[in-house]
Amino acid sequence: MALRNLRYEGDEILRKKSREVPLVDDRIRMLMDDMVETMYEFDGVGLAAPQVGILKRVVVIDVEDGRVYKMANPKIITESGEQSAQEGCLSVPEKKGVVTRPMKVIVEYINENNEAEKLEAEGLLARAICHEIDHLNGVLFTDRVIDDITEE
């Protein structure tokens, strides 16, 4: 595993739409592992491939629920409820803002073993999934802030 370089707000790659992953192979698994290591190094709870300069639909998430989620081609198929909370982002350091997200989502994705999975998530995990999928579509949390962005 290796640390990847983070991309920061202003980098044009963060505004591009990522490409589907046709197959989770050894290269994608290595990317996922590197992303997990990078996420931990920078104290994040999630990381999307564009944040490390790769335009592929890959995200990793760890909200400390005992599992690290490694997802290729994640797609939200249902969402319900609403939650508003402060968010930050490794690619937008020193800024936070209140964002409204679904309280509950069901997401389909391909796992690190190239198997289709469906996950029902709520609360922080649902928020993290939505945040990371936004990255895959070139959207930053700052685009969704409903309250003033605060500088840290």
CA angle in degrees (0–180, nearest 5) for 116-112-82? 65
Closest CA to 61 of 10, 9, 116, 136: 136
pLDDT value at residue 66: 86
Report the catalytic residues: 132
Domain 12-151 falls in which CATH fold? Peptide Deformylase (3.90.45)
Distance spanning both ends of the chain, measured CA to CA: 31
pLDDT value at residue 47: 98
DSSP strand pairing (150-151 vs 92-101): antiparallel
Are 100 and 146 within 8 A, CB to CB? yes
pLDDT value at residue 65: 85
Are 139 and 50 within 8 A, CB to CB? no
From first to last of its 152 residues, the chain has per-residue pLDDT tens of 799 999 999 999 999 999 999 999 999 999 999 999 999 999 999 999 999 999 999 999 999 888 999 999 999 999 999 999 999 999 999 899 999 999 999 999 999 999 999 999 999 999 999 999 999 999 999 999 987 777 76
Domain ranges of the chain: 12-151
